[in-house]
Structure 1
Amino acid sequence: MPDTKKEKTSISVKTNLADKQQAAEIFDSLGLNLSTAINIFIKKSIAEGGLPFDVRDPFYSEANQAELNRRFKKVSEDKDVHEHQLLDDGDE
């Protein structure tokens, strides 16, 4: 029975050329090639049981949501809300 821990396989990943080049430069500056960096990512993901970093949209951060709520409250209370004319309104 083959030892699957030592047997190598290939994977194919599609990305745009600019991202590949930028990542390759970063990894090269760390003394890594793209393949080694991807293998580190895979090993770290296995060790963590998921992605080894948070994947979040900053729009939903606590600070941003608090600011949005503050602004919604201001609008709903009609405080410091000023009407304005859009630039396109001059066409009428």
Structure 2
Amino acid sequence: MAKTSSANISIRMDAELKAAAENLFEELGMNISTAFNIFVRQSLREGRIPFTISRGRPNNETISALLEADKISKDPNIKGYNDVDELFEDIL
């Protein structure tokens, strides 16, 4: 069997995040080093981060603002403008 060598790495993270991760991985029967190795191996197998990274769902206030903007854009009673100059002419 071929002998493998190991290398140390150092990762900085928030102490509370580290503690939460250690608790989770302990429940799964591993330590943080094993979990990180699993992550790296899966990344190499897939040739990418092995999960979707997204900005997440907008909060309720943002969703409300988007819905209101959509409603306004479709309302024929609300005046629209083709450019900023036209808008400023109307408000000045």
Choose the corresponding residue for 2:72, options 71, 75, 87. Answer: 75
Structure 1 unpaired stretches of 5+: 80-92
Sequence identity (%) = 32
Q: Secondary structure of the residue that 1:8 maps to in structure 2?
A: coil
Q: CA deviation at 1:25?
A: 0.1
The runs of at least 4 aligned residues of structure 1 exceeding 4 Å deviation read none
Alignment of 1:55-70 (within 5 A): 55-59=53-57, 68=66, 70=67
Choose the corresponding residue for 1:15, options 8, 13, 16. Answer: 13
TM-score (norm 1): 0.65
Q: Secondary structure of the residue that 2:11 maps to in structure 1?
A: coil
Say if 2:81 is the partner of 1:52. Answer: no
Alignment of 1:7-46 (within 5 A): 7-46=5-44
Q: Secondary structure of the residue that 1:58 maps to in structure 2?
A: coil
Q: What RMSD in Å do the two structures reach over aligned CA positions?
A: 2.8
Q: CA deviation at 1:73?
A: 2.4
Structure 2 unpaired stretches of 5+: 78-92
Structure label with greater radius of gyration: 2
How many residues in Structure 1 have an aligned counterpart in Structure 2? 71
TM-score (norm 2): 0.65
